[in-house]
A and B are shown apart, each in its own frame.
Chain A
Amino acid sequence: MKGKDIFPVLVIGGGVAGIGAALAMADAGRRVHLVEKGFTLGGQVAKLDKLYPTDHCAFCPLWTDIKRLREHPLITTHCHAEVKELDKAKTGFHAVVVRKAAFIDESRCVFCGKCLKECQENAIVSQGAHVYPPSYRVDTEICTRCGRCVPVCPTGAIDFQRTDETFDLTCEHVVWAAGFTEFDLTPHPEFGVGSHPDIMTSLEFEEWTAEGGINKGKMVRKSNRSLPRAIAFIQCAGARDQRLLPYCSAVCCMHALKQARWVKRRNPSVHCVIFYTDLRTVGRDYYEYSLRDLGVNGVRLIRGRPSLIYPLPGGEGIAVRFENTMTQKREIWKFDMVVLNGNLSPSPVGAEREKGDLPSLTAEGFVNGEGDDISRLACGFTREPADVAESVIQASAMAMKTLSANREW
């Protein structure tokens, strides 16, 4: 491979956008360092139960890409790591990366489960149902460092003497792919977050109902574990709202249609109502997806933004007050569960940074791709609300920009 003298590219974020960018660059012969804040790769998509519009399991296709990434000779991945410093340098950028100590060495953990049995605090947790090869990690917040698990590990994978590792990195470009986080709606009482266990955000709902999750795909209420009779999906919760998030999060209409479809598919008796403003179904097969939901699956759509969501006395059900803007009727309906959709905001970039240059951000916190050198290369939700396909397309385009800037061919 040519271009050994050329500095690598630093990718910040290991979700679909980061993975896509790293693979595209490395396949074209560029060295890449990928820094991911979480323990595992895959980002938010890895947590999804199903992907629209194919209705396929989200993880399987993602997993093959993660595996290719991990085995790629030109890519170095740093999970559970953060960029502590970032400065412009003569050749590009100088970064200081801190990789948090992993008390269990992933490469030596054989997933035998001996440490799990020994631990009194339940501090040994699996990396996740979808992580292959499977391994354990220590939940550092619960762990008391008692050390009982160390001698029982047959491969000597556990070591509490390990410390955080800091290293310098000189890179030519920085690609931002930090993805999104959930915007906290708790301070806004009209959404009812926290007032009833059955009011949850769509990502919580996804986790709650996932086939690989705690309920193994069974549809139950959080409050009393019974089958809900009616579920309300509230679109634009916090989004397209000048007080909170002024933009449209782009992915939530399809996300709600998908969740409602899967609720109906597994439990035809549950009534699903989606409260929407505009049903934005712009991608391939998206509109037909919504038609199928409305026609065959019997999901109900109501155009209107609920003004108040509150638990009914005694905890039996949740009231949703809304105006159906198509019939101009004001109503209050009772639901067993409420799913809030749309409260997605770009992950803060540079917040954990101790010093160095920051990328230029838009007022809403997105990395401004039209901005200066440091923020020029941004892809996925960190640049603009985007779904999986759009994120990967942007990632490839960013990869092209790192290649065309210099000819290592």
Chain B
Amino acid sequence: MAKTGIFLCRCFGAINGAVDLDALREKLGKIDSTITVSVHDSLCLEENINTTASLIRNTGMEKVLIGACSFLARGEAVVNGLVQEGVERSAIGLVDLREACAWIHANDPANATLKAYDLIRMEIAALGYRQKSRDVAVRVRPEALVVGGGPAGLSAAAALARLGLRVHLLERGASLGGMLNLISRVYPSDEKAQDKIRALTKEIGKNELIRVYPKGKITAVAGYAGDFKVRFSSSSGEERIRVGAVILATGARIYLPDGLYGYGKLKNVITQMELERQFVRGAVHTKGAVFIQCVGARNLERPYCATLCCPASLKNAMRIKDEKPDAEVFVLHRDIMMPGRVLEAYYRKALAKGVQFIRYEEARPPQILGDDGVEGVAVHDVITGVTRNLKVDLAVLSTPLVPNNDNKHLADRFGVQLDHHGFFKEIYPLHPLETRVEGVFICGSARWPVSSEQAMTQGEGAAVKAASLLGRERVRALSLSRVPGEKLGHASVNEKSCTGCGNCVAVCPFAACALQKVGRKFISRVNKMRCQGCGNCVSACPNGTIQLPEHDYRAVGAMIKYAFS
């Protein structure tokens, strides 16, 4: 039996009012493994932690048991203090005697004391089996891979290069700029899109830290935060690189409304992007135009609002109004989505310029009149209850952005998640640019449809997250924690007993478990850099092969065994 020292805290009377600590001391002293039991006024105050630590060192205790308050209260301060003084974390057990015994059973001191004794005995039993996860450290490659050369990717790459980090920029197409190449101007500043691209690519072009790979396609990814090994093909041939962090900024695709509102059949029924192209080429010829919002969006097939179709329509409606003040311009919408200060002001501006807004219902969509071209549009205005015939010769369909087809391919390679629409998914809203895999970040419309301006903001945000990883020389697996301090531990596999069933692979939310062929059989291997110590695999493993050393199943078993004996 391991030599155990027990420290009990009175909390200045908050505990020993209900729990009889003297009786407890006597009873605990009789346990074989106990070498000392001491009672203190307070264990958590800074000055007392030193004395406790020196007591532990001088008496040669192997395990330490603290009976104090809850971990969330001051218990954590005691444990952390002792760890800082050099006591091994896995050798310390904390039992909550204040909130869980003294306070909640204040009216029943006898049973409170009994419960305290039981809790302490259970923790002593568990302490015998608690172990420590073996940490690993890797050297961080101070380079980043940015996938996608649109506004998000370009601003991320430029930001990283400004910090002196080497960047590999992979672009699917032949030229940089992404969707900005397709449009004429950007909202709300009404800047020319080409000027925006020029400003972004100028910094990329002259910076020798950034290497651009056009026509790039990722074929294989291995590794972990700090050292990803990526293989891809590009216009310069097959490449293999090793990078510390990855930023996914692959953007999104435009939905083509085939068959909707006569698109493809009727002349002058065009999409927003086709209108943009007309603006790029020169002026738009129309005597009256109608913009139809939510075409193929906010329906059962695509139940989401793509954020940028409303502002984009307003931008182009105002431009038509500016160029042809006599033309009547209508925006047919289901809700005008202009949240915030800047966009609401933009909406007001459109109203002031004479753009007319008509609200229609999903159940009664507008009708395009005409057999081979647009002769007019009939729409039921729900606000007035009147069906109107609009004299227009151009119908612009505002369609949403939809996820790229290769998102699944990339997500599988990197182990990140997609949401049910097919966009890249963040770990949770409070950490919107981080994925479940450490070292892989998302930004721009690949994450969720956004304007070019927002995409650039997100690019910079993702860059700072990547930079905080790349700035380190080495990174330890236990330090890659999403919670304060270090990770609780990481799962380890007993290779002899693993049957290769793959249960752990299926339940791991961080894509840390993988089956590997060793000799003639498959066994599970845990990537320590990815594992977050959640313990899902432990509960899914049929024969206890995979374990979190800090919460070994024998420790839990010993606690249960004591509790029910």
Q: Please give the residue numbers on chain A whose beta carbons come within 8 Å of chain B beta carbons, in ascending order.
A: 16, 24-25, 27-29, 51, 53-54, 56, 61-62, 64-65, 67-68, 71, 107-108, 110-114, 132-134, 154-155, 240, 246-248, 250, 278-288, 291, 325-328, 362, 364, 366, 384-386, 388-389, 392-397, 399-401, 403-404, 407, 409
Contacts and interface: CB of A to CB of B under 8 A. Distances in A.
B493 interface: no
Contacts, number: 188
20 contacts: A56-B428, A61-B431, A68-B483, A107-B46, A110-B73, A154-B12, A154-B42, A246-B344, A247-B341, A281-B337, A283-B307, A287-B305, A326-B361, A366-B341, A389-B429, A397-B458, A397-B460, A400-B460, A400-B464, A401-B460
B249 interface: no
Contacts of A407: 163-164
Given A28-B464, A62-B430, A396-B464, A328 B340 contact: no
Nearest to A387: B429
Contacts of A54: 428-429
Given A286-B305, A400-B463, A384 B485 contact: no
Given A110-B11, A287-B305, A404-B159, A384 B430 contact: no
A112 to B, nearest CB: 4
B76 interface: yes
B484 A64 contact: yes
Contact of B471 (A28, A385, A388): A28
Given A250-B339, A392-B431, 20 more contacts: A28-B471, A64-B482, A110-B45, A110-B69, A133-B74, A154-B13, A248-B338, A248-B340, A282-B307, A287-B298, A325-B382, A364-B341, A385-B340, A389-B432, A393-B432, A399-B464, A403-B467, A404-B162, A407-B164, A409-B163
Interface string B168-208: 00000000000000000000000000000000000000000
Specify which of A62, A246, A399 lies most central, judged by the most chain B CB atoms within 10 Å of its CB: A399
A280 B159 contact: no
Nearest to B306: A282
Given A24-B464, A247-B341, A386-B340, A285 B419 contact: yes
B341 A384 contact: yes
B468 interface: yes
Given A286-B305, A362-B341, A384-B340, A110 B42 contact: yes
B518 interface: no
Contact of B45 (A56, A108, A112, A366): A108
Interface string B374-391: 000000001111000000
Given A64-B483, A325-B383, A393-B457, A155 B45 contact: yes
Which secondary structure characterizes the binding site on chain A? loop
B484 A67 contact: yes
A249 B45 CA distance: 46
Interface in B428-460: 428-433, 448, 454, 457-458, 460
B125 to A, nearest CB: 28
Contacts of B457: 393-394, 397
A396 B460 contact: yes
Interface in B254-307: 298, 303-305, 307
Contacts of B483: 64, 67-68
B411 interface: no
A154 B9 CA distance: 13
B344 A396 contact: no
Contact of B344 (A240, A283, A328, A366): A240
Contacts of A281: 305, 337
B77 interface: yes
Contacts of B44: 110
Contacts of B46: 107
B100 interface: no
Given A247-B341, A248-B338, A400-B159, A24 B430 contact: no
Contacts of B216: none
A68 B46 CA distance: 20
B77 A133 contact: yes
Interface in B309-354: 335-345, 348
A248 B344 contact: yes
B465 interface: yes
Nearest to A19: B430
B541 interface: no
B358 interface: no
A196 B495 CA distance: 69
Contact of A28 (B162, B343, B431, B468): B468
A27 B336 CA distance: 39
Contacts of B384: 328
Interface in B40-83: 41-42, 44-46, 69, 72-74, 76-77
Top 3 A-B residue pairs of the complex, sorted by shortest distance between their CB atoms? A396-B461, A154-B12, A27-B468
Contact of B73 (A61, A132, A285): A132
Contacts of A24: 461, 464-465, 468
A403 B163 contact: yes
Given A155-B12, A284-B419, A392-B432, A111 B448 contact: no
A70 to B, nearest CB: 8
Interface string B413-438: 00000010001001011111100000
A287 B305 CA distance: 6
B344 A133 contact: no
A248 B339 contact: yes
A15 to B, nearest CB: 12
A299 B402 CA distance: 29
A399 B12 CA distance: 45
Contacts of B454: 393
B14 interface: yes
